[in-house]
């Protein structure tokens, strides 16, 4: 697969707690160089990054991150604030406890409210697959589809493991035709990125793909 196609699927990500503005600005510059799909950064940096990028690359940020157990009202406010600051894409974390409790209507209503707050902006729903059974993953495919979100996303990258080929393959079989797939967490090679895309992922949440390309150029 052409590397340009892989870069165009990458949400170039930096979400570490200690991330500085200098580091955020650098991943923004790198995203422009490699023409990635977006930069995915903490909410506190959205305004500065949006001003710095001036529309060259979309800014993505995270909501209810990384644990997902904020109230719906808080997540909706976070979403509105992020969009007001220039975010073009929102990656929200579901309340995993609600899923374990089979409170499916509550989860769907939360996704619907956040999608309404997004308006025409892109909404990706992180379900943290490493904590779920296959039954729960399939149920979330149904909920994300019904709620009208744009993407289902595997992982935060902050739990016990990240994306797997098996999970993306499972998503591909169970999401509706309008729902896309984002694989995130642990994508560490161009070969892995290509396989995730071949299995159905159209976005990749990773910091390593651009780093790999930069390291190759420095050799």
pLDDT at 5 over 70: yes
Over residues 47-79, the pLDDT tens digits come to: 999 999 999 999 999 999 999 999 999 999 999
Average pLDDT in the chain: 97
* Catalytic residue ranges: 91, 153, 182
CA angle 11, 174, 143 (to 5 degrees): 80
**Mean pLDDT computed over 134-145:** 98
In angstroms, the first-to-last Cα distance of the chain is 22
**What letters, b where the CB count within 10 A reaches 16 and e where it falls short, cover 19-46?**
eeeeebeebbebbeebebbbbbbbbebb
pLDDT digits 0-9 by tens, 7-48: 999 999 999 999 999 999 999 999 999 999 999 999 999 999
Segment 129-148 mean pLDDT: 98
């Amino acid at each position: 697969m052409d590397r340009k196609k892989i870069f165009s699927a990458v949400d170039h990500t930096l979400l570490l707690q200690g991330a500085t503005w200098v580091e955020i600005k650098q991943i923004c510059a790198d995203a422009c160089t490699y023409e990635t799909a977006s930069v995915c950064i903490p909410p506190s940096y959205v305004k500065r990054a949006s001003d710095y990028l001036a529309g060259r690359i979309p800014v993505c940020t995270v909501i209810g991150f990384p644990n997902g157990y904020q109230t719906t009202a808080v997540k909706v406010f976070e979403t509105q604030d992020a969009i007001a600051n220039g975010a073009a894409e929102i990656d929200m974390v579901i309340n995993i406890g609600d899923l374990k409790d089979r409170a499916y209507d509550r989860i769907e209503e939360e996704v619907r409210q956040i999608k309404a707050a997004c308006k025409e902006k892109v909404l990706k729903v992180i379900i943290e697959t490493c904590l779920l059974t296959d039954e729960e993953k399939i149920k979330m495919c149904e909920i994300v589809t019904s709620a009208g979100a744009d993407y289902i996303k595997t992982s935060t990258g902050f739990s016990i493991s990240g994306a797997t080929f098996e999970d993306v393959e499972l998503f591909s079989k169970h999401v509706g035709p309008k729902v896309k797939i984002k694989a995130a967490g642990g994508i560490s090679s161009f070969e892995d990125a290509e396989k995730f895309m071949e299995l159905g992922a159209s976005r990749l949440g990773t910091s390593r793909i651009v780093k790999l390309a930069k390291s190759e150029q420095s050799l």
